[in-house]
Structure 1
Amino acid sequence: MFPRRGAGLRHGGSPEKAELAAALGYDALFARDGFADAVREATAGRGVDLVLDPVGGPVRRASLEVLAPFGRVVVYGDLGLHGDWTADVWDLWKNSRSIAGYNIGDVARRSPATIGEHLSSALSALASGVLAYDPPAMAPLAEVVEVHRSFEAGSTHGKTVLDIAGRGAV
């Protein structure tokens, strides 16, 4: 369920984010631009079994292209704010590929117990060290405009917490 050393391929939006991913021990890292060709080369044309996609848009389309037979793309966000798009069901069927979605808000509304199970699994993985923890960056409320600009530019990684009370701790 969680990334582990030697557990796959990762693409990223910047060299800095690739360095962060490398620290998690992925087998290979690719820049977003041209990653489909790089994945095909790294897998000798086979493709990958699973793509976890929080970005959307062109990345999602390219992810479909790099799937091996019976591979799947799991969509769990739209960080790129690309909006809706359609997939060609004929192409999915002919190439034995699939798309699935995971929306935490929807799961919470429909099955709160499932969210509890997922949270328990995540916290267990965190406590055992299987899941790495990167503490959030802290920013004073006075820097909210700069923080927002960083989000828009895609230059952040991990979480950022606004320190409204000025305590300097999470």
Structure 2
Amino acid sequence: MRAVGFTSPGGPEALRVLEMPVPVPAPGQVLVEVAYAGVNFAEVYRRRGWARATGEPVVPGLEVSGRVAGWGEGVDGLSLGDPVAALTHEQVGASGGYAQFAVAPQELVYPLRTPAGEVDLLPAAALPCTVTTAYGLLRTGRFAAGEDVLIHAALGGVGSTTARVARLLGARRVLGTVGTAAKLDRAEAALYDALYLREDTAGWARPDGPDGGFDLVLDSVAGPTTQASLGALRALGRVVVYGNPGGHPDTRLSAQELWLSSRAVIGYNLGEIAVRAPHVLREQALAAVDLMADRRLTVGIGGIMPLESAWEAHRLLESGASVGKLVLSMAN
């Protein structure tokens, strides 16, 4: 089968087309013939050197959509050809999604047919990682209807999806920050009540900021942004941290300050949850499937590229120029 991966860590150019054997599903695993694979910054981290150095080819890719092509012992309730999405995270023993076929545990394989209809395979490629992360961030941050939410990296795949989910769950206001001034004028900015340039901390990151601050800040940027976000919280406000694309040094936080200000910092890592509480991800994914099937929840697809152009998708993510969800297509 065709796949894209790397043998040594490096830049986007480290990704190359590989010929790999079709993975054989182990007990409890499902084999998926991949139609689309979502592209995520976690795969950039892996390519940069987070992958184990074994000398063997590494195929990244955390999420796919496609059709059931087989299964291992102990799997039930599926038929050949069923449309599904799957979380293909290495921490749960799955094979990488940048390939024509992938395997994943059945608990992390999500049927796309519902009484309300069937989710299209293209947006479903964002379901296992991007959409469930959106739900997970809001749940982890103890979001409640009527609250004000600030989302950093607001026009990326996770950011824009989280804005949509926050609206569905009753947010009072949804605000965001972006890294470049050009994004302020994008049509997608209409998802937000207000959009700020991230470096304009005088505009958003102050205790007397918009309406006295925020109840919840979702921070995938890290570094100085995390510290500024803490200062922009109301009492009982929360910052959820879930990324560090710039490789910033760790942010030093004072437990004393958190106590005295009644604020909180919470971490969210999808891979750890997939290992320790996969049922939580399944519950969130299946709830999202229902919303996507009847079009109450949409995913903004920012670009569809052939599998062989995975390196270009990585370059776009790292540049900060991409908007919406980037997806790789297995079609020739």
Same fold, TM exceeding 0.5? yes
Runs of at least 4 residues off by over 6 Å:
none
1:120 aligns with 2:294: no
Q: SS of 1:29's equivalent?
A: strand
**Matches of 1:147 and 1:140 in 2, distance apart?**
10
Give the CA deviation at 1:104.
1.0
Q: SS of 2:248's equivalent?
A: coil
Q: Normalising by the residue count of structure 2, what TM-score does the alignment of the two structures yield?
A: 0.44
1:22 aligns with 2:189: yes
1:154 aligns with 2:320: yes
Name the count of aligned residue pairs.
163
Give the CA deviation at 1:108.
0.9
Q: More strand per residue: 1 or 2?
A: 2
Whether the 8 Å contact between 1:6 and 1:27 is mirrored in structure 2 is no
Q: Cα–Cα, structure 1 residues 13 and 126, in superposed 2: closer, same or farther, change >3 Å?
A: farther
**Matches of 2:325 and 2:174 in 1, distance apart?**
23
Q: Cα–Cα, structure 1 residues 135 and 90, in superposed 2: closer, same or farther, change >3 Å?
A: same
For the aligned residue pairs, the C-alpha RMSD in angstroms reads 2.5
**Matches of 2:279 and 2:298 in 1, distance apart?**
25
Which stretches in structure 2 are left out of the alignment for 5+ residues? Answer: 1-137, 139-164
**Matches of 2:310 and 2:271 in 1, distance apart?**
26
**Matches of 1:130 and 1:51 in 2, distance apart?**
24
1:38 to 200, 203, 206: 203
| 1:69-94 Cα deviation digits (max 9, x unpaired) | 11000112223332532211111111
Cross-structure match for 1:51: 217
* Corresponding letter in the other structure for 1:34: D
**Matches of 2:295 and 2:173 in 1, distance apart?**
15
Give the CA deviation at 1:103.
1.0
1:139 aligns with 2:305: yes
Larger RCO of the pair (alpha carbons < 8 Å, separation 6+): 2
Give the CA deviation at 1:11.
0.8
Whether the 8 Å contact between 2:222 and 2:251 is mirrored in structure 1 is no
Q: SS of 1:152's equivalent?
A: helix
Q: Cα–Cα, structure 1 residues 21 and 76, in superposed 2: closer, same or farther, change >3 Å?
A: farther
**Matches of 1:124 and 1:100 in 2, distance apart?**
28
Q: Cα–Cα, structure 1 residues 118 and 80, in superposed 2: closer, same or farther, change >3 Å?
A: farther
Aligned-pair identity in percent equals: 39
Give the CA deviation at 1:125.
3.1
Give the CA deviation at 1:28.
1.2
Whether the 8 Å contact between 2:302 and 2:324 is mirrored in structure 1 is yes
**Matches of 1:62 and 1:51 in 2, distance apart?**
10
Q: Cα–Cα, structure 1 residues 141 and 120, in superposed 2: closer, same or farther, change >3 Å?
A: closer
When Rg is computed on C-alpha atoms for both structures, the one with the higher figure is: 2
**Matches of 1:123 and 1:16 in 2, distance apart?**
33
Whether the 8 Å contact between 1:10 and 1:21 is mirrored in structure 2 is no
Q: Normalising by the residue count of structure 1, what TM-score does the alignment of the two structures yield?
A: 0.80
Give the CA deviation at 1:141.
4.7
| 1:87-119 Cα deviation digits (max 9, x unpaired) | 111111111100112211111101111110111
